[in-house]
Amino acid sequence: MSVWLELCLYALGTLGHVAVCVTALNRVQGTIAEHAVERLFKKAVTLWAIVGLCLPFLEMWQSSKARTPWQIVAGQLVDVWGYYTLATAWLVMTAVRRLAQVWIDRCPNVWQMLESRLVCVESEVGVAFEDYSTRPFWFSLAGNQIGELEVNKKEIVNSALPVGLDGLKITHFSDLHITGTVPKAYFEWLCQEIQQLNSDIIFLTGDFVDNPEKLAWLVDLVSDLQAEHGNYFVLGNHDVRFGQERRLRECLTDAGWIDLGGKFVQLQIGEHELLLAGNELPWIGQAPDCHPGEHAYSICAVHTPDLLRWGKSQQYDLMLAGHAHGGQIRIPWIGPVVCPSVHGVRYASGVFQAGKTVMHVSRGISGLQPIRLRCRPELTQLILRRSAENEATAN
């Protein structure tokens, strides 16, 4: 075997090992509700990532034969079975499965982008990121889009939408992750944009504050937001980390927001009754005790998009989720790699459909680590539309 082939097989085996570790990391972050346990498992995965990379070098050290690490990995892939053989098989399986998911999850008849506006908040609006003293080094990485914002208007076509709700405007944003690193002026400008969208309902789907000292920022920011039919929120996994879940709920409720965590409300719009519900599982409480199928239209706010199958089983018409941040770092031609979900990167962001349930996953605004590469912060207005079949039936 030539050295080049050995090196190629070594690279393939190493990528397979990375795929195994990333899969484990995604699953751990997506399934474990207890933060301390999650941290323990994440440390175990990190340890395995290092050990796995060292295995060929350890074998070279112990082997009586003078074999290089790439000869050892290439030998495993070609001649004998070993960890690297299984890791490479996992890499191939993951790639094939991802391609299948991209194909299956296309739902062009369910939504379309009406308008997408990009604003570089730092240069165009004049919000000064560079003066911020706690700015970490990765904030300055070339291509970091944390100081930008994409304001999107998306039309959601839904066959179940009653005629009286046609054109209902919903603002959906998520994952503010206020730490103090992204300046308050950025969020103030974001709130101005939200108010200018002039939606009928506003939804905020969790992960508000990562620094308890900045809770006052959140209250200041969201207090002035108003929508004709109300502002609604659910909490996310980061909101329970600093033990002020109750205080956070009180602050938001005092600011005029309606808590949907494990609850539901019935909203009368014209002659139609709209069900709005929230589910903060697997981190907090329990699922709302309601029957979406009995209402003219139903919307459920959740934090994790992993609840899509639950939403489908409950027959919700629309679900709004965040949590995944679009993966935060997207590699050209590959897309996101790391995503805290049991489904890996499948529901990182976008519009998905399961049965009659349509789910919008926001890329969110920020992140605990303020870095976004090829994955801009996103503020979305969803405009609900009846499908053409409905119009034909009505006529």
Q: How far is the CB of 116 from Fe ion (least distance, A)?
A: 22
Which residues does 171 contact at the CB level (< 8 Å), separation at least 6?
A: 194, 197, 199, 201, 202, 203, 227, 379, 380, 381, 382
Q: Which residue is nearest to Fe ion (CB)?
A: 207
Compute the C-alpha angle 353/231/223, nearest 5°. Answer: 140
* Residue among 252 and 384 whose Cβ is closer to Fe ion: 252
Q: How far is the CB of 105 from Fe ion (least distance, A)?
A: 21
Q: How far is the CB of 325 from Fe ion (least distance, A)?
A: 6
- Are the CB atoms for 305 and 344 separated by under 8 Å? no
* Residue among 72 and 339 whose Cβ is closer to Fe ion: 339
What residues line the site for Fe ion (CB under 5 A)?
175, 207
Q: How far is the CB of 327 from Fe ion (least distance, A)?
A: 12
Q: Comparing C-alpha atoms, which of 278, 213, 202 is closest to residue 242?
A: 213
- Are the CB atoms for 214 and 180 separated by under 8 Å? yes
Q: How far is the CB of 339 from Fe ion (least distance, A)?
A: 11
Nearest-angstrom CA–CA distance, 395 and 392: 5
Q: How far is the CB of 31 from Fe ion (least distance, A)?
A: 16
Q: How far is the CB of 276 from Fe ion (least distance, A)?
A: 22
* Residue among 207 and 317 whose Cβ is closer to Fe ion: 207
**The pair of three-digit structure tokens given for residue 242, joined into one six-digit string:** 């600093």
Q: How far is the CB of 93 from Fe ion (least distance, A)?
A: 28
Nearest-angstrom CA–CA distance, 245 and 222: 17
How far are the Cα atoms of 14, 80, 229 from residue 91, in angstroms, in the given order? 10, 18, 47
- Are the CB atoms for 211 and 178 separated by under 8 Å? yes
Which residues does 66 contact at the CB level (< 8 Å), separation at least 6?
A: none
* Residue among 207 and 306 whose Cβ is closer to Fe ion: 207
What angle do the packed helices 35-62 and 69-78 form, to 10 degrees? 100
Nearest-angstrom CA–CA distance, 188 and 34: 32
